[in-house]
Amino acid sequence: MMAASSYVSMVNAHFEEFGNPTEEQMALVSVKNHGNAINNPKAQSPMKLTVEDVMNSRIICYPFKMLDCCLYSEASAALILANEEKVKELKIDNPIWITGVAAANTDCFIGNREDMGRLYSNIYAAKAAYKMAGLDYNKIKEQIDVAELHDAFSGQEVISYEELGFVPFGEGGKWIEEGGPMIDGELPCCPCGGLIGCGHAVGATGIMSTGEAALQLRGDAGKHQVTIEKGRGLAHSIGGPGAAYAAIIIMENQEAKK
């Protein structure tokens, strides 16, 4: 089973349960992320697309089309991590603080899961990371400025809106139709273009997403900078067989920390 058919199993099972996301709603993620990549000079797949372009691209595995899928790529990403003492010693004036971090696992084999349309590791990791950061799963959308999600496949990003608590289950598709995760929306998701827009350098992308959220919080994201009001952001990554492993990091800038 390839990555696409593994993810599509979860998306199809989710659709069976919630009637969401539709093919058009998934296509909106592709339009958004390829579009956001236009303003990111490091992105490898910038494209100005319409929903129709995505719908007409060749089918990979039903209902994923080529433009619903990220492109495997090669790239590198790096973060510099330090504790509070070191930050003070080096007199770093604009650090981004990690205030919540959590990871969780679910059954690697999708056939073991009683509920194939949900990635419970996403839900557990989100709740634990928010709790550590003192945030509320049911109000998280109002508490953060930006989210960098693991959008290897468009449909999975929509499901992540629900599993990470941005919107109730079954409403992820509606939320993107209303513009919620767009770069100028209620909570911009993947303003750098995500994996679909940047290319998926497997192994490096989790670092990239975390770094991108940090750049946003520091106000250093350049042309794809979003408005930072709360000073708080989220990075999300999943991986492993059946995307069983999920990790979520909550970050805050200097202002929010005060």
Partner 1 sequence: MEFQAHQIRDILKINYRYTMGGQSKFFIELMNNKKLLGTKCTKCGKIWMPPRINCSECYEPAEWVEMKQTGTIDVSTIVWYTTSAFIKAIPYGIGFIRLDGADTAMLQGIFSENLIPSKVKKGKKVRAVYQKEREGKMTDFFFVPEDEYESWIIKSEYEGGSE
- In the complex, the residues that contact partner 1 under the rule CB under 8 A are 1-2, 4-5, 8-9, 12-13, 16, 58-64, 109-112, 116-117
Element (H, E) at 188: none
Distance from C-alpha of 147 to C-alpha of 110, rounded to nearest angstrom: 26
Neighbours of 152 (CB within 10 A): 26
Q: How far is the CB of 25 from partner 1 (least distance, A)?
A: 17
Nearer to partner 1, 13 or 204 (CB): 13
Nearer to partner 1, 71 or 132 (CB): 71
Distance from C-alpha of 61 to C-alpha of 80, rounded to nearest angstrom: 39
Q: How far is the CB of 254 from partner 1 (least distance, A)?
A: 44
Can you name the residues that pair with 64 across neighbouring β-strands?
61
Nearer to partner 1, 62 or 223 (CB): 62
Q: How far is the CB of 42 from partner 1 (least distance, A)?
A: 25
Q: How far is the CB of 9 from partner 1 (least distance, A)?
A: 5
Examine residue 21 and say whether the peptide bond preceding it is cis (omega within 30 degrees of 0): yes
Q: How far is the CB of 104 from partner 1 (least distance, A)?
A: 17
Distance from C-alpha of 221 to C-alpha of 212, rounded to nearest angstrom: 7
Nearer to partner 1, 56 or 138 (CB): 56
What is the 3-state secondary structure of 208-235? HHHHHHHHHHHCCCHHHCCCCCCCEEEE
Nearer to partner 1, 48 or 109 (CB): 109
Neighbours of 85 (CB within 10 A): 8
What stretches of the chain show up as alpha helix (H) in DSSP? 3-18, 23-37, 51-56, 84-89, 120-132, 140-143, 154-163, 172-177, 194-198, 205-218, 254-257
Collapsed DSSP state (helix, strand, coil) of residue 58: coil
Q: How far is the CB of 117 from partner 1 (least distance, A)?
A: 8
Which of 78, 10, 21, 66 lies closest to 196 in space, CA to CA? 66
Q: How far is the CB of 65 from partner 1 (least distance, A)?
A: 9
What stretches of 110-164 show up as alpha helix (H) in DSSP? 120-132, 140-143, 154-163
Nearer to partner 1, 63 or 95 (CB): 63
Nearer to partner 1, 2 or 92 (CB): 2
